[in-house]
Amino acid sequence: MKIALFATCIIDAMYPEVAQATVTILRRLGHEVIFPSGQTCCGQMHINSGKFAQAEPVIAAHARAFSSTEWDVAVAPSASCVASLGHQQPLVARRMGNEALATEAADIAGRTYELSQLLTDVLGITDSAADLGSYFPHRVTYHPSCHGMRLLRLGDRQSDLLRSVEDIDYVELPLDDACCGFGGTFSVKNPEVSSAMLADKIRTVHSTGAEVCTGGDASCLMHMGGGISRFKRTGNFEGTPDITAVHVKETSSTGVGNDNADHLIAVVGAADDDHLTPGVSGTSPGASGTSPAEPSQVQAGLQVGQSTVHLARILASTKEEPLRVQSEGATVSGGSLR
């Protein structure tokens, strides 16, 4: 079978090893994998922000990329992106009055599968160890993403594939149907709510004692990995965002006598080395009144090797070429296993 890989922009930019693992799995099964050139984003970031006019050329670019060559099915290791192709792209194209694009987008979406969908529903994989040679002798918990559960209705496809990996110690995640708090631009527009949701999710991951938390959406895993990394160091599990205050002078064009008003703005998700505890009156990163956080009881309880990793990399792991974890010398960056 000729399978087209939709790598997705976040995986291409941040986690290319996930795309490589996807290719490894499919080639191991004897399939030809191609990478349509010109592919970029599915457009869901624009669409979720209501920017339909800006999303239309992004949708058109995706349609051009995947219409430029012949393939039997397409696959993406991302439930949210696959959901956007079918749930959002045709709708937005029609809203913009482009029926031809809506039809083309719907055709491509109808032949595009999330990785576990493809493996289970199309390729008939039921036993990862027997069919893929998957081997991962570590304690693992699993976070199902909102788009996977609620739009693609993946059910147990991903977790069943994980459970059948040889020597895996699979443990259920409490309250696994709760959102991690990412939601794309939601986490930027609503940082306090997002961080509170993230704190709840990291608590449940910690409670499992798993060395690795996995899932099928790199965006969720990036968010959770960042939370694990920061909370290990700061012990901040109180639902407040990780903030560095920056003093800026903002020039206003409205209001009499307010042309040079002083404001404090919050920069959320500062660089890992810049996370400091709130100071008495610090107005800039590194200013007097700030100090490194002391380890908390919760922070000390987190396993040193706890990290996130995409399920494609676990499924691609074999006895001959195993995926190593931090305790075995692997690199963890931003809470994500590299």
pLDDT along the chain (338 residues), means of 10: 96 95 98 96 92 96 96 97 94 97 97 97 98 98 92 94 98 94 85 90 92 95 90 63 34 34 33 32 34 40 70 98 94 90
Instruction: Please say whether the beta carbons of 180 and 213 come within 8 A.
Output: no
Tell me how far CA of residue 259 lies from CA of 248, 250, 255, 264, in angstroms. 14, 8, 7, 16
Statement to judge: residues 140 and 20 lie in one domain: no
In the structure encoding, which two tokens stand for residue 170, read together?
């699979």
Strand ranges (DSSP E) for the chain?
A: 2-5, 32-34, 73-76, 112-114, 139-142, 169-171, 212-215, 243-251, 260-268, 307-310, 332-333, 336-337
Statement to judge: residues 7 and 62 lie in one domain: yes
Statement to judge: residues 131 and 65 lie in one domain: no
pLDDT score recorded for residue 234: 76
Cα separation, 191 vs 181, whole angstroms: 9
Other beta carbons within 10 angstroms of residue 260's beta carbon come to 9
Enter the DSSP assignment of 5: E
Statement to judge: residues 225 and 112 lie in one domain: no
Instruction: Please say whether the beta carbons of 312 and 21 come within 8 A.
Output: yes
Cα separation, 264 vs 250, whole angstroms: 9
Q: End-to-end alpha-carbon separation of the chain, Å? A: 30
Statement to judge: residues 148 and 65 lie in one domain: no
Statement to judge: residues 88 and 44 lie in one domain: yes
pLDDT score recorded for residue 188: 83
Cα separation, 248 vs 235, whole angstroms: 28
Other beta carbons within 10 angstroms of residue 156's beta carbon come to 12
Amino acid symbol at 75: V
Instruction: Please say whether the beta carbons of 337 and 214 come within 8 A.
Output: no
pLDDT score recorded for residue 236: 63
pLDDT score recorded for residue 64: 97
For position 13, which CATH number holds? 3.40.50
Statement to judge: residues 232 and 157 lie in one domain: yes
Local structure of 45: helix, strand or coil: helix
Q: Which candidate, 87, 221, 243, 63, places its Cα nearest to that of 153?
A: 87
pLDDT score recorded for residue 187: 84
Statement to judge: residues 224 and 332 lie in one domain: yes
pLDDT score recorded for residue 237: 53
Is residue 108 domain-resident?
yes
Domain containing 148 equals 126-240+295-337
Instruction: Please say whether the beta carbons of 68 and 37 come within 8 A.
Output: yes
Statement to judge: residues 104 and 164 lie in one domain: no
Burial group, residue 203, by CB count within 10 angstroms (0-12, 13-18, 19+): middle
Cα angle at 158 between 156 and 160, to 5 degrees? 60
Instruction: Please say whether the beta carbons of 27 and 43 come within 8 A.
Output: no
